[in-house]
């Protein structure tokens, strides 16, 4: 009796598997809203391979069940249960990429998201080619912040994810601040490719061995614990300049009770200090009085007297050590960097405030030049102009919306 039951259930499972449609047949969208050819090829490849493998496993199981001498009821049920788990893993994988694909059928939004794909891909493709750049795809989601499912990490079922999938907050579409969120998430992928958390973490541990002050040692350890998030903020700074900090401030604008709450087990620096550290990176990479102005603005928004008493000395130590920590990160060298200082593998030399202002002047005279520039550079220039009050919010949104659509259309036409 159990054999007929499990054979029928296996046939039903196989039929449901065959009914799963590739995205090309199931997701209507205009061509400009589509993901890159490299991304869709790799996504389809793993889903097809997973489906092919499971169909063969089901067929083998059915054939085995027809032999009354091969499996008893307990072993047969155990093997069938594993087939169901494999099928559900495939569905989980499909759902991950469905989030990316289905929302692109939304009028207007889909094309904007495709443009953000191109921004993210640009930010991951650094000038010094130190790693193989995986495809990047974005999708909008409710919520306050962004997130990433990194390429080359494990999907449900244990297979390697072929693309980086970035969740972007829908409420931030569209303005220059969205670039800070996206490139922060890109920074997680890039830092992993370069093994920066490990190599810089080791360098911090060496510093801690020579630190005699207990509070300073505690502060260095906090920097080490928060490296993953700090390096992602640094990645955004190298591409966006002041736009990285103003975008971060928009995300970190929370009630005071959250701004000063220190959780040393949280990989994120506590919000008020996180913005201060972003300013410290900006001051080091792009010396300019604007960073002091930004610091004064941040201090004016929150009363630092409300920092909990037990964390005042700790916070002061973090601020005191910030210049040393920032210099350590920016000048870091490792085997993965192949003889380069970390700051030198990015476009920092081309993204100082004065250079961004010069580009904005040139683009006002010849707007076509903006469409030929790297997407992250465009956001940096627009973000700087907004800080300088040379462009208003409405004009910023109009320009960036037009550019995102144009980048998406160019990619669609090049396929």
**Tokens representing 82?**
């594993």
Angle between helices 227-240 and 242-252 (to 10 degrees): 130
Reported as a single tens digit per residue, the pLDDT across 137-150 is 998 887 667 899 99
Q: What's phi and psi for 398, nearest 5 deg?
A: -65, -45
What distance in Å separates the CA atoms of residue 405 and residue 389, rounded to the nearest whole number?
Answer: 25
From residue 20, alpha-carbon distances to 24, 38, 52, 195 in Å are: 12, 22, 12, 37
Return the pLDDT at 382: 96
Of the candidates 318, 125, 373, 146, which has an alpha carbon nearest to the alpha carbon of residue 235?
A: 125
**Tokens representing 361?**
């002047």
What distance in Å separates the CA atoms of residue 318 and residue 216, rounded to the nearest whole number?
Answer: 8
Of the candidates 273, 119, 131, 99, which has an alpha carbon nearest to the alpha carbon of residue 185?
A: 119
pTM of the model: 0.89
* Cα angle value 185/153/275 (rounded, 5°): 20
* Cα angle value 137/102/407 (rounded, 5°): 45
How far does the chain reach from its first CA to its final CA, in angstroms? Answer: 55
Question: Which residues of the chain carry a pLDDT beneath 50?
Answer: none
- Three-state secondary structure readout of the chain: CHHHHHHHHHHHHHHHHHHCCCHHHHCCCCHHHCCCHHHHHHHHHHHHHHHHHHHHHHHHHHHHHCCCCCCCHHHHHHHHHHHHHHHHHHHHHHHHHHHHHHHHHCCCHHHHHHHHHHHHHHHHCCCCCCCCCCCEEEEEECCCCCEEECCCCECCCCCECCCEEEEEEHHHCCCCHHHHHHHHHHHHHHHHHCCHHHHHHHHHHHHHHCCCCHHHHHHHHHHHHCHHHHHHHHHHHHHHCHHHHHHHHHHHCCCHHHHCCCCCCCCCCCHHHHHHHHHHHHHHHCCCCHHHHHHHHHHHHCCHHHCCHHHHHHHHHHHHHHHHHHHHHHCCCCHHHCCCCHHHHCCHHHCCHHHHHHHHHHHHHCCHHHHHCCHHHHHHHHHHHHHCCCCCHHHHHHHHHHHHHHHHHHHHHHC
Cis peptide, bond prior to residue 174, ω within 30 of zero: yes
75: Cβ–Cβ under 8 A, 6 or more apart, which residues?
Answer: none
């Amino acid at each position: 009796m159990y054999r007929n039951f499990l054979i029928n259930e296996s046939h039903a499972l196989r039929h449901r598997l065959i009914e799963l449609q590739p995205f090309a047949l199931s997701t209507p969208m205009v061509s400009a809203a589509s993901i890159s050819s490299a991304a869709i090829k790799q996504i389809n490849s793993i889903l097809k391979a997973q489906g092919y493998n499971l169909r063969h496993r089901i067929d083998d199981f059915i054939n085995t069940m027809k032999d009354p001498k091969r499996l008893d009821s307990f072993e047969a049920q155990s093997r069938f249960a594993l087939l169901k788990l494999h099928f559900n893993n495939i569905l989980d994988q499909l759902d991950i990429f469905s989030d990316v694909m289905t929302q692109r059928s939304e009028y207007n939004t889909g094309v904007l998201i495709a443009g953000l794909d191109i921004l993210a891909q640009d930010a991951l493709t650094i000038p010094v080619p130190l790693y193989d750049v995986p495809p990047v795809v974005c999708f909008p989601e409710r919520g306050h912040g962004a997130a990433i499912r990194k390429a080359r990490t494990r999907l449900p079922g244990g297979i390697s994810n072929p693309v980086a999938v970035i969740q972007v907050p829908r409420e931030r579409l569209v303005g220059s601040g969205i670039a800070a969120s996206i490139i922060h998430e890109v920074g997680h992928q890039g830092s992993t490719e370069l093994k920066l958390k490990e190599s810089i973490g080791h360098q911090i541990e060496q510093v801690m061995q020579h630190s005699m002050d207990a509070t300073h040692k505690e502060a260095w350890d906090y920097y080490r614990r928060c490296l993953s998030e700090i390096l992602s903020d640094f990645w955004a700074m190298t591409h966006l300049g002041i736009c990285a900090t103003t975008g971060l401030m928009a995300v970190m604008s929370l009630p005071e009770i959250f701004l000063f709450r220190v959780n040393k087990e949280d990989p994120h620096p506590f919000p008020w200090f996180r913005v201060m550290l972003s300013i410290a990176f900006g001051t080091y990479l792009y010396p300019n009085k604007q960073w002091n102005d930004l610091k004064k603005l941040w201090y004016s928004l929150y009363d630092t007297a409300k920092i909990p008493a037990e964390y005042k000395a700790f916070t002061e130590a973090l601020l005191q050590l910030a210049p040393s920590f920032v210099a350590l990160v920016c000048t870091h060298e490792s085997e993965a960097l192949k003889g380069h200082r970390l700051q030198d593998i990015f476009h920092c030399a081309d993204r100082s405030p004065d250079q961004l202002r010069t580009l904005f002047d040139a683009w006002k005279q010849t707007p076509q030049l903006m469409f030929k520039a790297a997407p992250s550079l465009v956001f940096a220039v627009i973000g700087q102009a907004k800080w300088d009050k040379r462009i208003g919010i409405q004009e910023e949104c109009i320009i960036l919306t037009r550019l995102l659509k144009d980048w998406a259309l160019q990619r669609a036409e090049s396929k």
